[in-house]
Amino acid sequence: MRLSKLSLLWAATLAVAGTSPLQAAPAKPVAKAAPAVAVSPVGGHVLGRANAPHKLVEYMSYTCPHCAHFDAEASAPLQLGPIAQGKLSFEVRHLLRDPLDVTMAVLTNCAPPARFFPLHHKFLADQPKWMAVVQAMTEAQMQRWNNGPMLERMRAIAGDLKFYDTAAGFGVSRPQADACFANEALIKRIVQQTRDAQTIGVDSTPSFTLDGDLMKDAHDWASVQAQLGKALK
């Protein structure tokens, strides 16, 4: 899904807001034996061997339907194929588009690394359900998400859409979630992933790099799979 100017401004606004208001203030696993999860230097979450010869990075948004489709189609083939074989590592990084997106990104990053991907999959699998709630919200309710300190906005979103309950199922209690919403360093790290993506020319979700190079015209599993097949020969 291509990013709008408003979406890009959101990330910039969040980065600025984080320096002031914040200070003031179960999905089944795809494989039986899930590969180890590591946190990369930029804060992304990585499946697979650290020394895998090829590295696939996804830049994604939780409010992007194409990202949900990719996750549903690609998770099993990637984990049971090149990741399990030690040929590939797969990293998820965030490309923030809106307040809902950042709320879920903070919650998944609040979970222990081993539970990042299960919660990540759950938010994407449930996208039609919580998006239907969003579409039914009144204008007055949505004002709570777009005005006031960022900490209070994220709390409102997590409460209205029952994201607190979802996160609790993966080991993130409400007090822990609120602490993460107030964690300026965590939020800045997630925002920086968006800035880094824009720097290398990413302007839509999902987008991918393979071994550090932006994959052109690859925004779904079919196109990613085709390019991976050539690289992994």
- Tell me the whole-structure pTM to 2 decimals: 0.86
Question: Which pLDDT belongs to residue 32?
Answer: 43
* For residue 108, pLDDT beyond 70: yes
What span, in angstroms and rounded, lies between the C-alpha atoms of 29 and 8?
33
Question: Which pLDDT belongs to residue 12?
Answer: 45
CB within 8 A of 205, min separation 6: which ones? Answer: 1, 3, 59, 60, 61, 64, 66, 67, 95, 97, 219
Give me the domains of the chain, ranges plus CATH numbers: 5-231 (3.40.30.10)
If one compares 233 and 196, the residue with the highest pLDDT of the two is 196
Q: 8 pLDDT band (50/70/90 cuts)?
A: very low
Residue position matching structure tokens 């895998």: 52
Q: 3 pLDDT band (50/70/90 cuts)?
A: low
